Structure 1
């Protein structure tokens, strides 16, 4: 590929010709069977202490007086308590895959949740209840958009999706405007970050990074070429699997200071980029198994997940190829994402309801067994701040942090 083009849009009313949607890439991890509750039958008087799960499972067989029931905590109608997490049930089709979540910084009760099948949900009570939102400019076309990423800075917000679509709001999401994009955009948009007033940073699955400072009417390329062009031009780089690379990113994660780490679609190497660098920098993996996902720890170091299960932490902070494995109790299911609440506390999520917690920076992890009954893959952990966090899963599963 030639040098990365700068994208200029001068007429906001003329939209690009959208490409046909393609089947979204998915990672299959077998689901665990739902654990059936044990029902107890007894003619004796009920126990004095009954938690929410026991109350739900024993209601059909226990005969309690109205006076006794009034003294017991009633189960939430729309959620299921899971240790420090609760499940929030959403008004969506079970087949929807949730992809990203973000809140308005000036109002942490006001947020948006994105997914496949043109799903946009809005909450105004901190994530307890959600209602569907529609975008007229997106519904006018016969495309089933997959909304990949959302980000807010102040009252300004951005949404990107596939087929190529860019939405912008300046009033905290009360209204959304569609910003036209150039047909020369290389790859599909998978990530966007609001960086300042009328400013944002956008990444495609081919490694293109674009920045705007005038609410999306013009975009400047931050890298000179796509990852494919970089790797195919530098075939002597010594990166295993990089020669004649024609794939895309499997995952991409951004640090708070603007650095990126991305995993190749085959998982055989990873790439990094720092502001000011003209090209992505490829890195060999030091682990035999292929990489599933990578991201940034709260202290500036890296975490790395391998396919089939396995968690590794980089030695020290910054970009490195030196990792050491940390033992985790994942029950044989793969771990798909890690989210840090602080430098010491983090949560990891994975297949068949795997949910793990560390309180010592990742040195040891404890499994939250209360989530074992969720027959879904939990693949995204998002902490908005130290008090607000969410876990996203397939089949419309959403967990909200209670700690």
Structure 2
């Protein structure tokens, strides 16, 4: 199926730790009060007894026992204070509570480059939240141009370049802003668009790149009024030509992507819906390039490392890194402590530091480019799957989870 170029009409008129149970003052007083004062009191009560069975000796034994018990209690209380302090500095993440229904699934987050404190958070059930304090607090945002019809939109992706921003969703909807999100207008889309829009990237002034779950890639340079196809055919058409070339699982392809990720230089890696192979695309190529998976288990997700190489997650919790940089089918497995839960996404904060998130609140960190990983217990008690790691820059990052769970990086 050849990719059609899309044209639309002008629509500019549409506006759219544990803390101690006893105070330090009490502990200080208990430790410093002299117990010999009690012993002296017992001696005054029985001054004339000298035998081994005298009450004075019994009281002393009792007092020695009481003194030992009190010392043990004080030592125990002192020990209880230590984990509380370590828990306070254990994690580099904190949970941000959102004004949304528990069933909402968060899907993407982005901030305005010209105003790092101003950002937007997208999700299912037509959810758009806005922050103006760097992500500490969020408020619901209503966009009139997205509420004209009786649809419950799923907003999949958002991207900013300067003050210009784009949002795509399902059913097919495209929103554009030129004033950092103060107002949004709706851009009409052609009915010929193959598949559902799952990703959009603001690339330049009035320019963006849009991807559908069927592998269509479209680019615009005039604020979305015209879109040019960057690939000549759908992934299904490509696989029909290459099914005899040894791509395992191509004959079972259902025609959609499970995940798709873009590198900073415009390259894409996508995982087939069944996870039995993956595809890549580079600017200038006429169609997607299918690749056999290099591991036995099916692929969960793939993405780009900070050095230009690939990371690969398999169903069941395995993590693999490609050997070298660029596109390759040669991967090596990296041991991780995922507690038996699957890892769902990886996000790089810097060239050496990255975070991985997964089922049942799994959070993993590497500080050597992915060669080794340690577990952060920040989300162990959060009953949610963490499926998206987003670093806006080296100081601002977020983890998205189901049931409206949002974690904010503290650094």
Distance apart, 1:115 and its partner CA: 0.3
Q: TM-score, normalised by structure 2?
A: 0.81
Paired residues of 1:41 and 1:62 also in contact (CA < 8 A): no
Q: Is the 8 A contact 2:353 2:365 kept in 1?
A: yes
* Offset at residue 369 of structure 1 (A): 1.7
Q: 1:49 to 1:42 in 2, by over 3 A?
A: closer
Deviations 1:22-70 (A, max 9, x none): 9999999999999999x9999999x999999999999999999999999
- With over 3 angstroms needed to count, the CA separation of the structure-2 counterparts of 1:74 and 1:119, relative to structure 1, is farther
Distance 1:242 1:137, change over 3 A: same
CA distance in 2, matches of 1:290, 1:179: 38
| Structure (1 or 2) with the greater helix fraction | 2
In structure 2, do the counterparts of structure 1 residues 17 and 9 end up closer, same or farther at CA, with 3 Å as the change threshold? farther
Question: What SS does structure 2 have at the residue aligned with 1:235?
Answer: helix
Q: Structure 1 residues 32 and 279 mapped into 2: Cα distance closer, same or farther (>3 Å)?
A: farther
**Larger Cα Rg: Structure 1 or Structure 2?**
2
Identify the residue that residue 64 of structure 1 maps to in structure 2: 72
CA 1:36–1:376 in structure 2 vs 1: closer, same or farther (change >3 Å)?
Answer: farther
Runs of 4 or more above 4 Å deviation? 13-19, 22-37, 39-45, 47-82
Structure 1: unaligned runs, 5 residues or longer? none
Q: Retained in 2: the 8 A contact 1:228–1:244?
A: no
Unmatched tracts of structure 2, length 5 or more: 12-18, 26-31
Q: Is the 8 A contact 2:46 2:56 kept in 1?
A: no
TM, length-normalised to structure 1: 0.83
SS in 1 for 2:38: coil
The answer as to whether partners of 1:82 and 1:371 remain within 8 angstroms in 2 is no
- Say if 1:41 and 1:328 are closer, same or farther in 2 by CA, change over 3 A: farther
CA drift at 1:140: 1.4
Q: State the secondary structure of the residue aligned to 2:243.
A: coil
Please tell me whether the aligned partners of residues 31 and 376 of structure 1 are also in contact (alpha carbons under 8 angstroms): no
What's the CA shift for 1:384? Answer: 0.3
Residue from 76, 79, 90 that aligns with 1:82: 90
Following the alignment from structure 2 to structure 1, what is the Cα–Cα distance between the partners of residues 124 and 344? 18
* Residues 80 and 213 (structure 1), Cα distance of their counterparts in 2 relative to 1, 3 Å cut: farther
Distance in 2 of aligned mates of 1:371 and 1:175 = 36
Secondary structure at 2:238 match in 1:
helix
Residue 235 (structure 1) shift? 2.3
Native 8 Å contact 2:387 2:401 kept in 1: yes
